[in-house]
Amino acid sequence: MILKDKITYIRAHLNLTQEELAKEMGVSFATINRWETGKNNPTKKTQQQLDTFCSQHNIILPDEKVLRVFEGFAGYGGGSFALKRVQNLHPNFKYDVVGYSEIDKYACELYDANHRDASGRLITNFGDITKIDPTSPSFPDFDIFMGGFPCQPFSTAGMQKGEDDPYGRGTLFQHIIRICAVKKPRYILMENVKGLLSKKFDATRALMIKLLREIGYVKDKNNPNESPIAYAVLNSKDYGIPQNRERVWMFARLGGLPDNFSVEPPQRKNDLKMADFLDPEGYVPKEMYLSKKQIDHLKVKHNIPSFKVDTPLCLDIYNKKIKYDGYSITITLPEHNSLRVIEAHKNREVVRKMSVTEQFRLMGLEGLKGVGRKVDIDFNGQSYTQLSRRAGNGWDVNLVTILLEYILNQLQNLDFDLFDF
Ligand SMILES: C[S@@+](CC[C@H](N)C(=O)[O-])C[C@H]1O[C@@H](n2cnc3c(N)ncnc32)[C@H](O)[C@@H]1O
């Protein structure tokens, strides 16, 4: 699309006059007028300015390449949050979430409060993945399936029954395969707990590989040595968020992965510690704090002589240890939560639960500047328990942003028909 048509399209999309668009973009009316009447050839800077403006307003120009995304097991939409960030970093990159699948009422409400498709509309929730009919005309096509299938069956915090999980959660990945066998998205990105890599689940992983091979996610179906999956265990603390959170990430590409493809971005360590992610003084809700009696009980039970610390630290009550490395232990579902924060005070011992804003910051959501303890997510007025469930189950948005950037960078020359980067 040439510059003058772009301006006309953008104005029509946002229903703005030339004057109003000039104001929105921070340029003069004369500039917009020159652009739209074709009197000026676009400079590189003009193009960049327009691309940034379009991505900020989620405008997809008609001839642009758009990566269509389906977000399975969506939770709070860690994938969608990360895609937004990738787009901010790469204004040429355009995506559209064409549908999601989630069964938890509160997760759906949180997702809807925070995410929209490229035209600003609510994204359709296709509900229970086991009930999705991928051949239905109302089920959209997409280029990437992304989803972290429920991890309880593989987690050390659960019974580790894997595919034999009594609630059927261990076979949910087979529904990813069932859907992708019909839709044939170019990419599949999956996530799970590290436990999935244990010997106990060798057969589950072998089945995943077999099924992905059968539906075409390899170069050569008959080559038993070619794995359709690139995988890596990534820890949030190695990518800038001070939470010890290890997850396995798996990626497959229709037709096979290019040689040397990797899902392990170079680490981005920094000096930030859990203390840097805590709410400012006075913002932590009162109900987070343990009473003196509870603190004394913890001391005896865990054989910890004192909770007086010089800098805020994490207490792991499951392992009965103070984490002197300054990192937070893994944020989990509230029913498994053994994470406590020890505040640093000269003459007092203060131990408390972690607030939701702290949990979400440690899940890679950024702080909103100038508004105290808030993070950049609409909590939709939900309860501590519900929000903690989302955080405990969620994707680290910071890590997923880094991972998606890394993956798309490696594929941009190969799959230039699908997206610009
Ligand atoms: C590990 S969490 C995924 C978290 C998500 N990636 C995020 O960033 O928040 C798994 C999610 O799958 C959902 N789920 C479980 N069974 C499902 C099913 N049959 N169909 C769709 N979603 C399901 C759960 O409610 C849970 O929110």
Mean pLDDT computed over 29-56: 84
| Residue 21, pLDDT score | 93
Q: What is the pLDDT of residue 12?
A: 87
User: What is the number of the ligand 1 atom nearest to the C-alpha of 79?
Assistant: 8
In this prediction, residue 417 carries a pLDDT of: 92
In the chain, CATH 3.40.50.150 covers 67-268+396-411
Q: How far apart are CA 59 and CA 389, in angstroms?
A: 33
Give tens-digit pLDDT for 304-340: 999 999 999 999 999 999 999 999 999 999 988 899 9
| pLDDT number for residue 202 | 87
Integer angstrom CA distances of residue 371 from 71, 102, 279, 349, 374: 30, 31, 11, 28, 6
Q: Which atom from ligand 1 is nearest to the alpha carbon of 73?
A: 12
Amino acid code (one letter) for 278: L
pTM: predicted TM-score of the whole model, two decimal places: 0.87
Query: What pLDDT, in 10s, does the model give residues 273-310?
Result: 999 999 988 889 999 999 999 999 999 999 999 999 99
Q: Which of 102, 145, 336 to mutate to test the pocket of ligand 1 (most atoms within 8 A of CB)?
A: 102
CA-nearest residue for atom 24, ligand 1, is: 73
- As a whole number, mean pLDDT of residues 239-263 equals 97
How do residues 229-247 score in pLDDT, each as one tens digit?
999 999 999 999 999 999 9
pLDDT at 154 (0 to 100): 57
Catalytic residue list contains 151: yes
Domain with CATH 1.10.260.40 in the chain: 3-56
- Average confidence (pLDDT) over 339-351: 94
Confidence band, pLDDT 50/70/90 cuts, at residue 53 = confident
Rounded Cα distance between 363 and 157, Å, is: 19
Q: What is the pLDDT of residues 121-144, one digit of tens each?
A: 999 999 999 999 999 999 999 999
Determine the residue of 393, 395, 398, 401 to mutate for testing ligand 1's pocket, defined as the one with the most ligand atoms within 8 A of the Cβ atom. 393
Give me ligand 1 centre to Cα 12, in Å.
38
Contacts of 263 (CB under 8 A, 6+ apart): 230, 231, 232, 234, 249, 250, 251, 403, 406, 407
Distance 167 CA to ligand 1 centre (A): 14
Q: Is residue 395 in contact with ligand 1, taking CB distance under 6 Å?
A: yes
Which of 80, 85, 103 for a ligand 1 pocket mutation test, highest count of atoms within 8 Å of Cβ?
Answer: 103
| CB-ligand 1 contact for 107 (6 Å cutoff) | yes
More confident residue, 332 or 161: 332
CATH of domain 3-56: 1.10.260.40
For ligand 1, say whether the CB of 76 is within 6 Å of any of its atoms.
Answer: yes
Mean pLDDT of the chain: 91
Q: For the chain, state the CA radius of gyration.
A: 24
Distance 334 CA to ligand 1 centre (A): 16
How many C-beta atoms surround the C-beta of residue 35 within 10 A?
24
Q: What six digits make up the tokens of 198? A: 């244990």
pLDDT 10s digits, 195-223? 899 998 888 889 899 999 999 999 998 88
Ligand 1 centroid distance, CA of 296 (Å) = 38
pLDDT band at 172 (very low <50, low <70, confident <90, very high): confident
CATH superfamily to which 67-268+396-411 belongs: Vaccinia Virus protein VP39 (3.40.50.150)
From the list 54, 108, 151, 314, the catalytic residue is: 151
